[in-house]
Amino acid sequence: MSYYLTTPIYYVNSTPHIGHAYTTIAADILVRHQRQRGVDTFFLTGVDEHASKVARVAAEQGLEPKEYADRIAIVWRELPARLGVSNDFFLRTTDDGHKVFVQDFLQRIRDNGRDDIYQDVYSGLYCVGCEAFKTEAELADGRCPDHGVEPEWIEEKNWFFRLSAYQKPLLDLYKARPDFVLPGFRYNEARSFIEGGLQDFSISRSGQPWGIPIPWDPDQVAYVWADALVNYLSALTYARPGEDLRDRYWPSVRHLLAKDILRFHCVYWPAMLLAAGYEVPQQLFVHGYLLLDDKKISKSLGNVLEPLDLVDVYGPDPVRFWCARAVSFGQDGSASVASLHERYERELGNDLGNLVSRTTAMIARYRDGSLRAVPAADSELKAVLDPLAADVAARLDVFDITGALERVWEVVRFLNRHVEVSAPWQLAKDESRADELDRVLYDLADGIRVVAVALAAYIPPTADRILAALGQPDDVGWENVAYGRTVEVTGIEAAAPLFPRLEAPTAAV
Ligand code: MSP
């Protein structure tokens, strides 16, 4: 079984913001979870470099486009590591392996015997920001609503892809696979778009040298989307030198993306794959926007917290936790720095951090740091933990990173109540209740261990620290999300706070 997950490749000429971090973090949670289940995974991310803007800005700065792209690709390449993200490969569309593959891919469509690529003149309004042609109806006051600029009139002889011929194959595909696109309302959106009729689109640009040359007409370059989408396949041919990973990971691929690029991924891309003779992806998950309420943060007041600076202040784990928790994954939602701080204090600091500190402190104090392994078949905790592994896995199988996290948090809340209800400090006063105290401490330690393993995909270093504080092996295999696997240890000490108090950000008024 394999699990290949991709994020959109980011335009190299923008700077990373919280929205980009959001997709990458979500993908990392999903992939790490599959690894915990022993699945053979591959996680791809990278940058999309052939947008016309790259060539324009480079020219303004007196640089060659590639020189300029090399400089700004650095920050993107570093982004995953700053977020604790474990991608297997970082693709650049200027990689030779990608360029060669795109040319082969386009040639395969041209040679498929169905006349799917033809030459025609295109004239229309083109928004450089979107890298897409616009109809009058899509404009607001003559401007692109997303970029606020007037599109340019472009008229040129281009190579076209006969998307219109794929309406029926795509509708058949959508009918046969009702979970091809998730969530369901995005599936409906994509299917309605296909039902509404598909227009052929131009896959080449003339008069600009920046891009991948069309193999049969090198005066033209591939349209940036016809180049970028292909990355999901091309990466498999050169990510591991000397190996072709396509048999291993294609078509069991899942694409993660935001709603703005639904059509490209859910309509154009499967059609292009069918035309080139490849199988379509297994599934696409379309998430909403994470919006940072940045109006409340003001540079002039000196309280600026740029999205990636959040990682510097809070560390990657709290930011990852907050991304998964603040907005239900799949929906749009607003998330403020204040909400990050609040969850840091209340949920990570109090609910989880204090639980670990208190439990280890009690084991240190009442049992001199020794934990006896005394699991009990009739333990209340066992009943709470028994369904957890399957419940969390089922949610993550449908990309519900928010629901899965909430399911784990139910256990965190249960454990906090359990401390209060079982009051180990009372039991410790009564020698005749020593066995009872051992059982309570064991269950608390075991519950915390299970929570750590279940959270390992979300907050990996924190999970390791919790296991270490309890003297447990750092094995986060999913089979360990089960009652009674905590091993007997000595030498447990009161753990230092996992999430030390931080000053609250000062919000501007
Ligand atoms: N280069 C294209 C994608 C090509 S994929 C073959 C592109 N790049 S982008 O940098 O503009 O955006 C990439 C993705 O970042 C978006 O589709 C989305 O997945 C994510 N996000 C950007 N802003 C976002 C938010 N504010 N919130 C959530 N995700 C958003 O499009």
272 lines ligand 1 (CB under 6 A): no
Give yes or no for residue 217 having a pLDDT over 80.
yes
Number of Cβ within 10 Å of residue 345's Cβ equals 17
76 lines ligand 1 (CB under 6 A): no
Residue nearest to atom 30 of ligand 1 (CA): 19
Share of the chain above pLDDT 70, in %: 96
Give yes or no for residue 410 having a pLDDT over 70.
yes
Residue 130: active-site member: yes
Residue 299: active-site member: yes
Q: What pLDDT is stored for residue 169 in this prediction?
A: 98
Phi, psi for residue 396 in degrees, rounded to 5: -70, -25
For residues 115 and 171, membership in a common domain is answered with yes
User: CA 329, CA 26: separation in Å to the nearest integer?
Assistant: 9
Residue 144: active-site member: yes
CA of 287 to the centre of ligand 1 (A): 10
Residue 17: active-site member: yes
> For residue 145, what pLDDT band results from cuts at 50, 70 and 90?
confident
> For residue 277, what pLDDT band results from cuts at 50, 70 and 90?
very high
DSSP three-state, residue 254: strand
The answer to whether residue 500 sits within a structural domain is: no
Contact of 216 with 109, CB cutoff 8 Å: no
Domain region containing 268: 2-304
For residues 141 and 240, membership in a common domain is answered with yes
For residues 260 and 388, membership in a common domain is answered with no
Q: What pLDDT is stored for residue 17 in this prediction?
A: 83
Give me the catalytic one of 53, 134, 157, 296.
Answer: 296
Give yes or no for residue 92 having a pLDDT over 50.
yes
Q: What pLDDT is stored for residue 295 in this prediction?
A: 41
For residues 273 and 378, membership in a common domain is answered with no
CA of 19 to the centre of ligand 1 (A): 7
For residues 239 and 155, membership in a common domain is answered with yes
For residues 118 and 240, membership in a common domain is answered with yes
CA of 307 to the centre of ligand 1 (A): 15
Residue 295: active-site member: no
The answer to whether residue 492 sits within a structural domain is: no
For residues 279 and 365, membership in a common domain is answered with no
Between 293 and 434, residue with greater pLDDT: 434
For residues 265 and 354, membership in a common domain is answered with no
Q: In testing the pocket of ligand 1, which one of 49, 232, 254, 261 has its CB within 8 Å of the most ligand atoms?
A: 261
CA dihedral (90, 94, 99, 102) positive or negative: positive
CA dihedral (331, 333, 338, 342) positive or negative: negative
> For residue 101, what pLDDT band results from cuts at 50, 70 and 90?
very high
22 lines ligand 1 (CB under 6 A): yes
Give yes or no for residue 43 having a pLDDT over 80.
yes
The answer to whether residue 494 sits within a structural domain is: no
Q: In testing the pocket of ligand 1, which one of 48, 128, 259, 266 has its CB within 8 Å of the most ligand atoms?
A: 48
The answer to whether residue 412 sits within a structural domain is: yes
CA of 186 to the centre of ligand 1 (A): 16
Angle, nearest 10°, between helix axes 434-455 and 401-422?
170
For residues 270 and 353, membership in a common domain is answered with no
Q: Which atom of ligand 1 is nearest to the CA of 290?
A: 27
479-502 confidence digits (pLDDT tens): 999 999 999 999 999 999 999 999
| 306 Cβ neighbours under 8 A, 6+ residues apart | 17
Q: What pLDDT is stored for residue 26 in this prediction?
A: 98
Among left, alpha and beta (phi > 0; psi -120 to 50; other), residue 359 is: alpha
417-476 confidence digits (pLDDT tens): 999 999 999 999 999 999 999 999 999 999 999 999 999 999 999 999 999 999 999 999
For residues 345 and 408, membership in a common domain is answered with yes
Give me the catalytic one of 130, 157, 259, 382.
Answer: 130
CA of 79 to the centre of ligand 1 (A): 14
**What number is the average pLDDT over the span 20-39?**
97
Between the CA of residue 177 and those of 181, 184, 190, 191, 281, what are the distances in Å?
Answer: 9, 12, 13, 11, 11
Mean pLDDT estimate for the chain? 94
Pinpoint the alpha helices (H) of 14-154.
Answer: 18-36, 52-60, 65-82, 96-110
Give me the catalytic one of 127, 266, 287, 418.
Answer: 127
Q: What pLDDT is stored for residue 207 in this prediction?
A: 84
289 lines ligand 1 (CB under 6 A): yes
Least confident window among 132-136, 140-144, 375-379, 404-408: 132-136
The answer to whether residue 326 sits within a structural domain is: no
199-210 confidence digits (pLDDT tens): 999 999 998 899
For residues 168 and 47, membership in a common domain is answered with yes
The answer to whether residue 505 sits within a structural domain is: no
- Total domains in the chain come to 2
The answer to whether residue 71 sits within a structural domain is: yes
296-307 confidence digits (pLDDT tens): 334 444 444 567
259 lines ligand 1 (CB under 6 A): no
133 lines ligand 1 (CB under 6 A): no
Share of the chain above pLDDT 90, in %: 83
Q: What pLDDT is stored for residue 509 in this prediction?
A: 33
Residue 147: active-site member: yes
CATH at 123: 3.40.50.620
Q: In testing the pocket of ligand 1, which one of 6, 14, 23, 24 has its CB within 8 Å of the most ligand atoms?
A: 23
Q: In testing the pocket of ligand 1, which one of 7, 53, 260 has its CB within 8 Å of the most ligand atoms?
A: 260
Q: What pLDDT is stored for residue 324 in this prediction?
A: 97
CATH at 413: 1.10.730.10
CA of 220 to the centre of ligand 1 (A): 26
290 lines ligand 1 (CB under 6 A): yes
Q: What pLDDT is stored for residue 210 in this prediction?
A: 96
23 lines ligand 1 (CB under 6 A): yes
For residues 129 and 174, membership in a common domain is answered with yes
Q: What pLDDT is stored for residue 298 in this prediction?
A: 42
Give yes or no for residue 46 having a pLDDT over 60.
yes
11 lines ligand 1 (CB under 6 A): yes
The answer to whether residue 488 sits within a structural domain is: no
